[in-house]
């Protein structure tokens, strides 16, 4: 029994991509290589390992750089709000202060009270990263068909080196509250990933034997979740230990991009799959025949809309977890990264278990269990508390221990949140797998590829809206001086229509409708 989780789940709360899992007939000289004896077995194939290492390092870099920017977006305050300790007394630093004073402000870690008053701009960062996917996904798919996917992959990896170098410069110029240059680099990183995605997933059916595709996708699924976890955790470690010298930490991103570029040359040379394809403006949007199919197939249309909403809520959950850990619990970047990594572990476990239970069918009973579980977990995470975690701070301004139940502005505390977030991830995997399996199986064979591209575009609409909606929620919470964990109440409220009203019939033969 194998789990064939689509790559749109792989991006783990950040990024759907064009899938390679849909059955496709060979097309031209670069069609699928069906069980050719001249190809090595999967795990002895240098091309497979080159692609695996390349995509792992790319996803790792995405999550490392983006999470570093996210930490700074949570703490987006002007230099006037930072009060570094000078000679044992707190002194405000105005924007026109001398350079040495400005540097002292940049080096100073905010106090507990300052953290609780910080502005949360994660929604802005999410939107900036997601918008390029909407702009370039259609064109990137066209390029991936017209030109060799290997050429596009190598070109994207070379571009990643320059983008990450620009990121190091942006971190060196960063001052508290001024994120403009970093956001420009984040936009470029999103653009790079938008072009990389269709070639990355589309090349697998072209370079591997058909009998190896399931194992190859399963292995890439595992390594991608690992990259999400490691990238998020390393971001917390670098942020906490390098503080204002993040330009030095970000050189790790440049090194990773260089290694990823070198590994991309291991990928087997392949001709273009459709070199004579003509560019059409409809490639940049939704083709008319795909719109007609959605209008005629209500279950498929509802699945696409629910998937888009799911990705919006998933992005908001990640931002809420980061804000809760840093501000409500004063847990610091490293401990908050553990929260971020834990949800990824839960999603991986939930996706695997959900696939086993579903037995490769779109078992909507599993999805409903996932939706209800997500809803309950978010309500638990949203429970506020009147406690002040600053009471746990030592003389050095750091927590003497992580807050327990009722010891922070969020009732669960750190370890209660850690357990709840793990369960939340499991239920998220339960929800996502049947929905994605249904969307893969529902379109006719000849239209699967284009329909999946439309689904991914809809998912990216949700991810961009996540940034806009979360920014509004964060602004309201800050204005009312509520604990940041209350964002989970808003997310649960937006999840409630799915829990209450989205009850599709079970696709499993002979099984009763849920």
- How many helices and strands, by DSSP H and E, does the chain display? 17, 2
E strand or H helix at 377 = helix 364-381
Q: What is the pLDDT of residue 179?
A: 82
Q: Beta-carbon neighbour count of residue 448 at 10 Å?
A: 19
Q: What is the pLDDT of residue 448?
A: 63
CA 504 to chain centroid: 27
Q: What is the pLDDT of residue 493?
A: 97
Instruction: Kindly write down the DSSP assignment for every residue of 466-506, as one continuous string.
Output: HHHHHHHHHHHHHHHT--GGGHHHHHHHHHHHHHHH--PPP
Report the C-alpha gap between 63 and 193 in whole angstroms: 11
Report the C-alpha gap between 118 and 193 in whole angstroms: 30
| Dihedral (Cα; 96, 99, 101, 105), 10-degree rounding | 90
Q: 155-203, pLDDT tens digit by residue?
A: 999 999 999 999 999 988 887 777 889 999 999 999 998 888 878 877 8
Report the C-alpha gap between 462 and 466 in whole angstroms: 6
Q: Beta-carbon neighbour count of residue 138 at 10 Å?
A: 22
Report the C-alpha gap between 461 and 439 in whole angstroms: 17
Report the C-alpha gap between 67 and 72 in whole angstroms: 9
Task: Give the residue from 373, 389, 391 showing the smallest Cα distance to 381.
Answer: 373
Instruction: Kindly write down the DSSP assignment for every residue of 230-290, as one continuous string.
Output: HHHHHHHHHHHHHGGGHHHHHHHHHHHHHHHHHHHTTSPP---S-TTPPP-GGGGS--HHH
Task: Report if pTM > 0.85.
Answer: no
Report the C-alpha gap between 458 and 467 in whole angstroms: 15
DSSP designation for 41: P
Angle among Cα 165, 170, 172 to the nearest 5 degrees reads 100
The stretches in the chain having pLDDT less than 50 are 1-34, 77-108, 112-113, 508-514
Domain at 7-85+100-501: CATH architecture: Up-down Bundle (1.20)
Report the C-alpha gap between 358 and 335 in whole angstroms: 34
Q: What is the pLDDT of residue 37?
A: 67
Provide the 3-class DSSP secondary structure of residue 183. Answer: helix
Task: Give the residue from 257, 161, 143 showing the smallest Cα distance to 200.
Answer: 143
């Amino acid at each position: 029994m194998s789990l064939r989780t689509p790559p749109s789940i792989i991006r783990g709360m950040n990024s759907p991509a064009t899938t390679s899992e849909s059955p496709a007939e060979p097309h031209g000289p670069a069609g699928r290589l069906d069980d050719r004896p001249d190809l090595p077995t999967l795990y002895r194939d240098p091309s497979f390992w080159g692609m695996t290492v390349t995509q792992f390092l790319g996803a790792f870099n995405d999550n490392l750089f983006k999470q570093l920017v996210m930490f700074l977006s949570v703490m987006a305050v002007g230099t006037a709000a930072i009060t570094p300790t000078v000679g044992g007394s707190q002194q405000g630093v105005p924007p026109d202060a001398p350079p040495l004073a400005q540097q002292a402000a940049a080096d100073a870690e905010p106090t507990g009270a300052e953290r609780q008053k910080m502005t949360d701009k994660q929604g802005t960062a999410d939107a900036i990263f997601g918008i390029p996917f909407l702009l370039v996904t259609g064109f990137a798919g066209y390029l991936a068909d017209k030109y060799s996917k290997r050429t596009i992959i190598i070109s994207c990896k070379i571009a990643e080196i320059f983008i990450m170098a620009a990121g190091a410069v942006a971190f060196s110029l960063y001052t508290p509250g001024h994120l403009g240059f970093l956001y420009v680099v984040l936009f470029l990183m999103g653009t790079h990933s938008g072009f990389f995605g269709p070639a990355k997933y589309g090349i697998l059916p072209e370079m591997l034997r058909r009998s190896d595709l399931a194992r190859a996708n399963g292995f890439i699924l595992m390594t991608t979740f690992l990259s999400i976890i490691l990238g998020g955790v390393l971001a917390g470690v670098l942020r906490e230990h390098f503080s204002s010298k993040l330009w030095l930490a970000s050189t790790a991103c440049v090194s990773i991009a260089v290694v990823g570029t070198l590994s991309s040359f291991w990928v087997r040379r392949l001709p273009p799959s459709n070199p004579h394809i003509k560019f059409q403006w409809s490639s940049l949007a939704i083709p008319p025949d795909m719109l007609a199919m959605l209008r005629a197939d209500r279950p498929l249309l509802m699945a696409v809309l629910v998937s888009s909403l799911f990705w919006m809520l998933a992005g908001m959950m990640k931002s809420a977890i980061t804000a809760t850990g840093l501000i409500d619990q004063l847990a610091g970047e490293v401990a908050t990264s553990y929260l971020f990594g834990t949800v990824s572990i839960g999603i991986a476990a939930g996706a695997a278990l959900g696939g086993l239970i579903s037995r490769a069918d779109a078992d909507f009973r599993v999805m409903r269990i996932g939706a209800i579980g997500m809803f309950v977990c978010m309500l638990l995470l949203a429970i506020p508390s009147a406690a002040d975690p600053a009471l746990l701070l030592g003389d050095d301004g750091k927590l003497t221990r992580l807050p327990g139940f009722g010891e922070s502005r969020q009732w669960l505390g750190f370890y209660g949140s850690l357990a709840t977030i793990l369960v939340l991830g499991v239920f998220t995997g339960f929800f996502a797998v049947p929905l994605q399996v249904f969307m893969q199986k529902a379109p006719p064979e000849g239209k699967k590829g284009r329909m999946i591209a439309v689904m991914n575009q809809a998912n990216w609409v949700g991810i961009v809206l996540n940034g806009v909606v979360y920014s509004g929620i964060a602004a309201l919470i800050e204005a009312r001086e509520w604990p940041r964990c209350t964002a989970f109440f808003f997310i649960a409220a937006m999840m409630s229509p799915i829990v209450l009203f989205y009850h599709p019939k079970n696709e499993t033969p002979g099984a009763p409708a849920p």
